[in-house]
Amino acid sequence: MAAPHDALSLNCRPPGALTTRPLRDAFHLPARDTSVAVARARVLDKLREWCVDEESSADAQLLMSELFTNAVRHTDSEKVSCELWVIGVRLRLEVADEGSGSEQIRTAACAGSAPPSEDEDGESGRGLLLVSVLADDWGVRPAHRGGAQENTGHAVWAELECHRTFGSDPASGSAPTPRPRPH
């Protein structure tokens, strides 16, 4: 597991990465447990639209569920902001909250591990542990709202490699070309 850090600029592409324009979606939802399923469904819909393979889509849905749930359970936010990018072969999810959260969670995320303590349900920290297993890289950064540079929360992001359906180009509006099958 790599130590979490801020990822490369969105304009940087690794050698061999697709040169198509980055795909991006952003949305805000109320900070409620019921919004987790809405966020997960939005991720699935977008990744299908962008012709991302099923395995990457399933991992991304699970990552979104865990990141969104952490924002709801461990902050006093009224809404949660979500962003999703596909840049070449990289898929990035980011969930930002509005309020103060557990310093222990932020510290653990910066150290690359899940928080050691558990809540009364025995579940605290399991979400970030799952994120650290599924994601190639993940981390935490201050979340800034609007034009103000005041830190009102934090954003947790996760990245993973994704694969797109062979011959697809959602930017052009063309239908995906089926992947050739061996005989």
For 126-180, what is each residue's pLDDT tens digit? 788 899 999 999 999 998 766 555 657 899 999 999 999 755 455 544 444 444 4
The pLDDT of residue 131 is: 94
Which two tokens mark 123?
């579940």
Instruction: Supply the pTM of this predicted model.
Output: 0.70
Q: In this predicted model, which residue has the larger pLDDT, 121 or 49?
A: 49
CATH 3.30.565.10 describes domain 23-161: yes
For 65-108, what is each residue's pLDDT tens digit? 999 999 999 999 999 999 999 999 999 999 999 977 655 454 44
Residues 150, 144: Cα–Cα separation, whole Å = 6
Write out the H or E segment, with its range, that includes residue 94: strand 90-96
Judged by DSSP in three states, 154 sits in strand
Q: In this predicted model, which residue has the larger pLDDT, 112 or 54?
A: 54
Residue of 139, 172, 162, 160 whose CA lies nearest to 6: 139
The pLDDT of residue 145 is: 63
φ, ψ for residue 68 (rounded to 5)? -65, -45
Report percent pLDDT > 70 for the chain: 61
Residues 30, 9: Cα–Cα separation, whole Å = 29
Residues 17, 182: Cα–Cα separation, whole Å = 25
The 3-class SS string of 165-183 reads: CCCCECCCCECCCCCCCCC
Domain definitions of the chain by residue range: 23-161
Kindly indicate the confidence band of residue 12, based on its pLDDT and cuts at 50, 70 and 90.
very low
